[in-house]
Structure 1
Amino acid sequence: MDPYPYLRLLSTGRSLNCNLLTRKISKYIHKDISSKAIRRVFLDFFVKDHEHTFVRSSPVVPFCDPTVPFVNAGMNQFKSIFLGTQSPHFTRVSNSQKCIRVGGKHNDLNIVGQDGYHHTFFEMLGNWSFGDYFKEDACKMAWKLLTQVYKIPPSRLYVTYFGGDEKMRLKSDMETFDIWRTIGVKENRILPFTAKDNFWEMGITGPCGPCTEIHFDHLGTVSRSNFVNKNLHDLTEIWNLVFIQYNRLPDGSIISLPKKHVDTGLGLERLCCALQGKSSTYDTDLFDYLINAIEKNCSSIPKYAGKFGENDWNNVDTSYRVLADHLRMLTVCLADGIIPEQNQKLRRIIRKCFLLSETVFGKEKGLVKELSNYVVENLGDTYPEMEKNAYQVHQILDYEEEIYNSIRLAAKKDWQKLASSEKNLPNIDHLDITPSFIKAFRELNALKPLEIDGDLAHRLYDTHGFDSEGIEQLAQVLNIKFSPSTFTEKMEEIKLKSKSGRQISMNPIVNDLANNLEKTDDFEKYAYNTNYEFSEIEAKVLQIIEKDNLVNKIKNGTSCSLLLDKTNLYCEAGGQEADRGKIKFQNSVFNIELVKNINGLIFHKGFFKGDSLEVGSTGTVSIDRDFRLGNMRNHTSAHLLNAAIKQIKTATCQKSSKVTHQYVNLDVSVFGPKLNFEDIVKVEEIISKVINDKLEVRVSTTDSQGLYSFDQITLIPGEVYPENEIRVIEIADGSEFVSREPCCGTHVHNTADLEDFCVVSLKSLGRSTTSLHGVSGDRAKLARKNAEELAEDIEVFKKSVAEHLDTPDMLEMGILSLKKRLNFDINESSILPYVYKTQTLKELNNIGKQIKDKGNDDLKNFICMEMQDALKSNIEKTNSNTKYLVHYLRSSMMLESVPLHAATAMCSEMPVIIIAYSDDMVKARCCVPKDLQSDDFNAENWLKETVAPIFKSRTTPQKLQDGVFVSNMKPQKVHVQDWHHLLAESIESAKKYINEKI
């Protein structure tokens, strides 16, 4: 019975009840077989038929390996097993690993799209044996899968093996040669090659071994043995079987390993090309759905024609390939939680897609996000995290596109300004123009170098952040020479210098101790019961360091550091501050103020009280319980806060955290709308429920293999976790809330032990990042108690407002005093919940506005009353018996803003000048009815010729309002000591003027 019926089914494209189910598969190529079927057949072959354990793909950025920026091979997650630092969880493993190659030794970024088989993202099918089977079984299984299951004719396959190396003193791997010959491969298709092609090494030292490669001939017409490993696109390696059997020592010698391993990698893209009969991977179904999606969403440009090189004269087909390739890569990265602002390679690729979308495909916005859906749909069933995190992918793409568009718009404006002053500047709309590009352009344009050598290239990299591709674009725009190899050589030179000069700066004494003493045993720092009773331990003083010197004895009142053989105190790590405590000796005590870990040695810095203390003394070490408990509560709170924010905002990233016994500080980036008041209300509701639900805080220990197996785990991008002894802190309610993080800090046993939690401050740290401070336990209770007391005081104040409206200054002082209580330092006892503080500030502002409005209404009434009195007693007549009024508005002294129009409106039938004085500023308004206007007398002249010059001010242009011509004098500062005599002079001048003119 056929164990892979769906392979045949998918190759025919028909249903199971089809009569063609028994039809033989094509002798040569399964042109209609899908990539999903190919992947599934591979995994089933090893998992179901050959007892391998399926291990899901690790994220594309390694958790525990700082040596590579991306996972670039299937073996990355098993590196510790090969190095011998971990024991394998399973002896036979198989998977499909997501891989990315955009830098370092395997850098395919700059040639993507130019040919039919280079990619930034690809899938590596693999099977591994960790001390189980070896060469013979590996070769037999691989040959069987290719020739009997996938039905590839042996006439299309060639195998290579290690032909020996004199320098390494290794003979030819004739064992592998004999295995292939026994299997049935013809001798003229079993080809020896040098170490360059057929010897695998992890690094300069460490595990290594010969490998055998299987190559596929796309033509398959005549024997082409002579063309294997000649970089032909139609004769390519598809599977590499590595036999890890040696260990290279630091002196360069090679010895056998006690256990032998198998590590194989079969490229899915190349295998699909072989089975689907395609010459380019972009023609397989791994890409054609995406190219079709681009065509569907961009109907205004020509359809993809599969042209390369000179045939693709307008680079449209190349752009299709680049966009399709990069879309797969960026979608996978974002779904795996990689943050562009912390991975500039990823950010450049995303921006390159935005640029192509705009300049080639005519879409200014939204295309990349839309096309990411197709990638998720195609790969989501294989890699479930892609479907799960699709919304996160969308949020980050929206955020990145908004930033990119604003940067590009600003850069375009700068370029246009530059173009207006520089002649013959090229049109560079097709390039990724940023402010950095323009700065670099100006710098090079001023220098006018004949070429960009390695030193200048590094300067552009170091100053403006340019990689080789960006420098090449600059060189093209300026029409100067640049060889990328010179840049690469310079970067390697700088790296070597950096490595040779990178020494840990350490006190020589401490350095000597670190080389000669065992690491301090601090396992007891995690030992405490559910009542948070911290056991005391007996410890021996190994060394005493006073003023950077080793001493054998100290006296009373000495500040120094003690090195013990063991400790139960926590030293600063994972953002959590170090413990405090003390060491009791027979007749003395050492108060510990700081605990510091230097290369595994833990030093206790503090102050000694007693007769004397000698090296070798034994004392009892105890922890400051309240201090530690405060740290534990706040550290658990940090995890809850991070998880709650992620629950409501989805696309978030912890930037940093600080945990003290007083508070927790969490800086978090949110890709989308920033955290606001309503969000904090929701976050506190979530955390309050978690506390009330009394959830267990589970702690487990795993290694890097186990860490990869966790689902929904929160990691800090860029953080490198240890390979072994990784503590995972987990809090989950069984439904929506999950907090799961690797963490070396100390935590409470149950969320109920937090007692309470609240956010006390929220501060923006730029476009995406927000800094939050929170408190738990007694500090949270204190914040709420402070809020209750302040609320009571505000209620008392509100009741007194109505009684004191006649003294607005006193009320304003009261509001100011209450507002001052909203300002506090995070360590002070006057802390308040952020939610309450925000609501209270709004309430106090409203009360202040009401008082001001009420006061203004009352003062306006004063103006009305004053004007009524003035109209009764201060109206004067000219020689022609024309009534007029020139008046200083005394009530203006009490107003912040004086409404002069309200005063003049009360005497609209006569000429009037009203003068006001408030806060050392004088202003005036003049109105003259239309029927009294003449060339000799009008509102503007009256004010301009009399009042304005006395106060050294000027008038505004004359205008008509409701049949009355109006002129205003601009406010002018007048010192109070000059006010009275200037006022008298202005009034007298105004009266004299109107009497002369009318």
Structure 2
Amino acid sequence: MVMDSGSIRRKFLEFFEKKGHTIVPSAPLVLKNDPTLLFTNSGMVQFKDYFLGNATPKSTRIADTQKCLRVSGKHNDLEEVGIDTYHHTMFEMLGNWSFGDYFKKEAIAWAWELLTEEYKLPKDRLYVTVFEGDAKENLPFDQDAYNFWKEHIAEDRILRGNKKDNFWEMGEMGPCGPCSEIHVDLRSEEEVKKIPGKDVVNMSHPQVIEIWNNVFMEFNRKADGSLEKLPAQHVDTGMGFERLCMAIQKKTSNYDTDVFTPLLDFIGQAAGIKYKAEEKTDIAMRVIADHVRAVSFAIADGQLPSNTGAGYVIRRILRRAVRYGFTFLNFKEPFIYKLVPVLGNQLRDVFPELESQKDYVGKVIFEEEASFLRTLEKGLKRMEGLSSISGEQAFELYDTYGFPLDLTSLIARERGFTVDEEGFKVEMEKQKSRSKAAAAKETGDWVLIGEDVKSEFIGYDFLESEIKIIKYRKVKQKNKEQFQLVFDRTPFYAESGGQVGDTGYIESANEKIYILDTKKENELIVHSADKLPENLTSSFNAIVDKHKRQLSMDNHSATHLLHAALRSVLGKHVEQKGSLVNDKVLRFDFSHFAAMTPAEIQKVEDIVNVKIREDIHLDEKRNVPIDQAKALGAMALFGEKYGDFVRVITFDPKFSVELCGGTHVKSTGNIGLFKIVSESSVAAGVRRIEAITAENAEQFVRTEIALLDEVRALLKNPKDLVASLKSLSEEKHALEKKIEAFNQEKANQLKDELARKALKSNGYSLILEKVSVPSADALKNVAYALRNQFDDLLLILAADVDSKPQVAVMIGEKLASTNAYHAGNMVKELAKEIDGGGGGQPFFATAGGKNLNGLDAVIEKARKLIQ
């Protein structure tokens, strides 16, 4: 009986659990504290600090299945996805890890045991590769790995691989080491007889694929490119789950496994097309089936589609899927969102975050699809009438309308014209150069001062502390040089959970260094300073900006109260989707599908202020086991990675209990006053509240009262301010109607006067005059009224419109049918006399300008044009 994908995953985890490994959950796809990566792109990302020695793992042996996303940077597979049958954007990485415990011998033996004895993969179809060494970096051939493999597999199946294939690096910097890949040959017996598998390994053959990579972490790649030995040796393995399923289920494509068939079946039924009917529709179906996984899990983990950073990557993936559906499957209405429940149900046991948020995720995708489908229509209209597309136009379609180049090229081919693809690449490079220049950042290596100990955060209890600098590095961005410092202990809160980092200073007897910001980098707390201390080994006193911290705490605690109040007023579907907390404002994004009414906003604000006046004391519990915290009712947010022990912040156990690492007031009364200043939409299904507290709220109220007093004074201090304003508004409206009637009467008089001046000549009625009108609408109305009166009209008006020059050209219906005159062309020529420009339809066009004195020249030029 063929093993299904769920059983394959379970067997992997159970196998390594029996080998003494602790099974841990997947980290979110979206990274929050690692500036070097947008997404989790491999299984080792969540363990990076263990390899570097910055943190201690809870177990020296760990196994998991990790959600990964590879669409940008070094590991970019996007363009292959859907075209071939084994690359994916989001994929699962099965991994087993050793942190200073076992090394090559055990990793190799267990990999062989699992694949051949548990999964029953045929031994004669497996090949392995080992690192051949690299002379440039003085790296030797991996003799140990070779020898250990000889205990399990014939030597002619152990192949040597170069640095590109057999030396694994996560990025430009970070942990790395030689690796040993395992490949499986899934070809038919006939094909195997013709060409041996060893001649096809690493040759991009769709049936001879790498399924498992055993990385032996020994080095750290530094900023200058050099390698240094890690404090201990580690094992980092990654097995592509989708490829493994293909091998075990004896399929020729990842998409033929039960990982993808439920999605493909749903797509095919909706499109009325069978999978494997035609190559172009097969590709489209594969693209959609793959991309909906990446987009859905990214949104569930907290990353909304947007125009920048990680959000732009998600938007691009989704638009690629929409484009394939629109072009090849005739999906003219949103469709991809319908796949979210299918996917959520399929993976509910291993990744429950999607199933629990499927309505929200589906809504976000629906709105994104609908928006891009409208943009597609606009882009297609933009292409109408073109006989070729320049590089600049292709880039405009990409940049403004979101058209990938291949979509533009496809449409161009269908219409029988060409696209300047080289010109497009030039424009794209210009944009990339601008972006790189703006974001270019040079980060140096850490320089160690004394012993490299783990930095301790003491800022919950202290705002001042004696500290020592344990390491520093130089950072250069936009030609500005700064330094990043790590202390042995720190009272400075590092930006996290939406709360901004602390500022302040450190001082010794001889100098003072200002701390400009504090951030987390994985497990490190990094302090930014504009200069280095002269004596790095001195003891310093670290002092946090107390006033800024207090105001930030006011806003952070108010955010917790706001969250609880929103759930009370709007419903339990409300969940935090993002936040910003600083000393000036709090911004809270939450899931909700409609704009809040004024009454709802007022009710939420009232609840928060009641809780402030109740002066509820903070109940802070540290190092609470995660299961115990959830039992207390603490809200755990999807997209956040929680440890085994967490911090629980409670303001009334019946009102607000949350997991939070931020800083908070000792009691709610410290907040003083809470005031909502705006409620708006951020994205589909996500609303945003901005609010202020404490002295900022007080200042806001003072300013509003002062404004109200000023309005009262202007209105001569009426008893009923609202009635007075209403009366004033009604009076203004009545006057506007009188002015409108007066202007219309003047326009009618002008129309009659111009009609009397019409000259019959050469088969048309010519009206060529300089006029004065109160508005552009009045000018337009006069022109249309005269067109209704003269079907052979040729009207050119040089108009003074409230001291601004305008030109209008109108051609009657009968005269327009002769194509003797084109209003748009004429007005463009005449507009030059008033230093302006304009255009319009062949029968009516207008232009505005800057030179009022040029109206007489317009009349003279018009006479010449007519003649």
TM-score of the superposed pair, with normalisation by structure 2 = 0.65
SS where residue 605 of structure 2 aligns? helix
C-alpha displacement of 1:375:
0.6
Which runs of structure 2 are paired with 1:99-498 in the superposition (5 Å)?
Answer: 99-183=68-152, 185-203=153-171, 206-219=174-187, 221=189, 224-247=197-220, 256-298=229-271, 301-304=272-275, 306=276, 312=279, 315-341=280-306, 342=308, 343-412=311-380, 414-415=381-382, 419=384, 422=385, 424=387, 444=392, 479-482=418-421, 490=429, 494=433, 498=437
Q: Provide the rounded CA distance (Å) in 2 between the counterparts of 1:498 and 1:470.
A: 29
1:118-167 deviation digits (Å, cap 9, x = unpaired) = 21111110000000111111111111111111122212212222223333
Q: Structure 2 CA distance, aligned partners of 1:619 and 1:197? A: 48
Amino acid aligned to 1:638: T
Structure 1 equivalent of residue 5 of structure 2: 35
Shift of 1:411: 4.2
The residue aligned with 1:638 is 559
Alignment correspondent of 1:774: 691
Q: Count residues with an aligned counterpart.
A: 686
| 1:527 alignment partner in structure 2 | 461
Partners of 1:408 and 1:293 in 2: how far apart? 24
Does 2:35 correspond to 1:62? no
TM-score, length-scaled by structure 1 = 0.57
1:219 shift after superposition: 3.2
Shift of 1:180: 1.9
Q: Distance in 1 between matches of 2:140 and 2:489?
A: 51
Provide the C-alpha distance between the structure 2 equivalents of 1:256 and 1:54, rounded to a whole number of angstroms.
28
Deviations 1:889-931 (A, max 9, x none): xxxxx99869xxxxxxxxxxxxxxxxxx989999999xxxxxx
C-alpha distance in structure 1 between counterparts of 2:638 and 2:429, whole Å = 34
Summarize deviations over 1:781-816 as a string: whole Å, max 9, x none. Answer: 99999999999x9xxxxxxxxxxxxxxxx9995897
Q: Tell me the distance in 2 between the aligned counterparts of 1:852 and 1:401.
A: 46
Partner of 1:761: 677
The change in CA–CA distance for 1:677 and 1:128 in structure 2 (over 3 A counts) is same
Distance 1:677 1:790 in 2: 21
- Please state if 1:53 is matched with 2:18: no
CA distance 1:501–1:665, change in 2 (3 Å):
closer
Q: Residue 622 and residue 80 in structure 1: after superposition, are their counterparts in 2 closer, same or farther (change >3 A)? A: closer
Distance in 2 between residues matched to 1:621 and 1:329, nearest whole Å: 44
Aligned residues of 2:146 and 2:158 also touching (Cα < 8 A)? yes
Kindly tell me: are residues 250 and 234 of structure 1, through their superposed partners in 2, closer, same or farther at Cα, counting changes over 3 Å?
same
Secondary structure in 2 matching 1:774 = strand
SS at match of 1:346: helix
Residue by residue over 1:265-292, the C-alpha shift from the partner in whole angstroms, topping out at 9 and shown as x without a partner, is 1111111111111001111000111111
Match in the other structure for 1:943:
none
Q: Is the 8 A contact 1:575 1:659 kept in 2?
A: no
Q: Is 1:696 matched up with 2:618? A: yes
Change (3 A) 1:165 1:628: closer
Report % sequence identity. 31
Q: Within 5 Å, which residues of 2 pair with 1:637-656? A: 637-641=558-562, 645=566, 648=570, 650=574, 653-654=577-578, 656=580
Deviations 1:586-610 (Å, cap 9, x if unpaired)? xxxxxx9x98559947799xxxxxx
Q: Which residue of 2 aligns with 1:948?
A: none
> What is the alpha-carbon distance in structure 1 between the residues aligned to residue 293 and residue 406 of structure 2?
21
Structure 1's unaligned 5+ residue stretches are: 1-10, 12-29, 426-440, 446-451, 505-513, 529-533, 540-563, 586-591, 605-617, 794-809, 820-843, 857-893, 899-916, 926-956, 958-998
Q: What's the secondary structure of 2:283's corresponding residue?
A: helix
Residues 658 and 666 of structure 1 are in contact (CA less than 8 Å); yes or no, is this contact kept in structure 2?
Answer: no
Specify whether residues 488 and 515 from structure 1 end up closer, same or farther in structure 2 by C-alpha distance, changes over 3 A only: farther
RMSD value, Cα: 5.8
Hey, what's the Cα distance between the residues in 2 that align with 1:317 and 1:621? 62
Q: Secondary structure at the match of 2:26?
A: coil
Change (3 A) 1:627 1:689: same
Give a deviation string over 1:937-978, Cα, whole Å, max 9, x none: xxxxxxxxxxxxxxxxxxxx9xxxxxxxxxxxxxxxxxxxxx
The answer (yes or no) to whether the contact 1:714–1:739 under 8 Å persists in 2 is: no
SS in 2 for 1:264: strand
Counterpart position of 1:981: none
Cα shift at 1:658? 4.0
Q: Distance in 2 between matches of 1:122 and 1:619?
A: 47
Q: Which whole-Å CA distance do the structure 2 matches of 1:256 and 1:498 have between them? A: 33
Letter in 1 for 2:72: G
Q: Say if 1:643 and 1:365 are closer, same or farther in 2 by CA, change over 3 A.
A: farther
Shift of 1:674: 2.9
Are the equivalent residues in 2 in contact too, given 1:156–1:220 (CA < 8 A)? no
Work out the CA distance in 2 between the residues paired with 1:782 and 1:535.
29
Please give the alpha-carbon distance, in whole angstroms, between the structure 2 residues aligned to 1:538 and 1:266: 44
- Is this contact kept in 2: 1:762–1:773, CA < 8 A? yes
In the alignment, is the contact (CA less than 8 A) between 1:395 and 1:651 conserved in 2?
no
- Bigger Rg, structure 1 or 2: 1
CA distance in 1, matches of 2:249, 2:458: 60
**Structure-1 residue corresponding to 2:846:** none
Q: Say if 1:198 and 1:212, in contact at 8 Å, map to a contact too.
A: yes
Aligned amino acid, residue 91 of structure 2? F
**Structure 1 residues 519-541: Cα deviation after superposition (integer angstroms, max 9, x where no partner):** xx99776436xxxxx889999xx
1-side partners of 2:41 and 2:268: how far apart? 30
Note the 1:718-733 alignment, pairs <5 A.
Answer: 730-731=649-650
Which deviations, in whole Å up to 9, do the C-alpha atoms of 1:855-895 show, x marking residues without a partner?
A: x9xxxxxxxxxxxxxxxxxxxxxxxxxxxxxxxxxxxxx99
Unaligned 5+ runs, structure 2: 469-486, 519-525, 532-538, 746-784, 786-867
Local SS of the residue matching 2:44:
helix
Q: Which amino acid aligns with 2:114?
A: L
Question: 1:136–1:179: 8 Å Cα contact kept in structure 2?
Answer: yes
Alignment CA distance shift 1:62-1:470 (3 Å): farther
Is 2:50–2:56's contact at 8 Å kept on the other side of the alignment? yes
Alpha-carbon shift at residue 248 of structure 1 (Å): 5.1
Partner of 1:748: 665
Letter in 2 for 1:634: N
Measure, in 2, the Cα distance between the counterparts of 1:923 and 1:230: 79
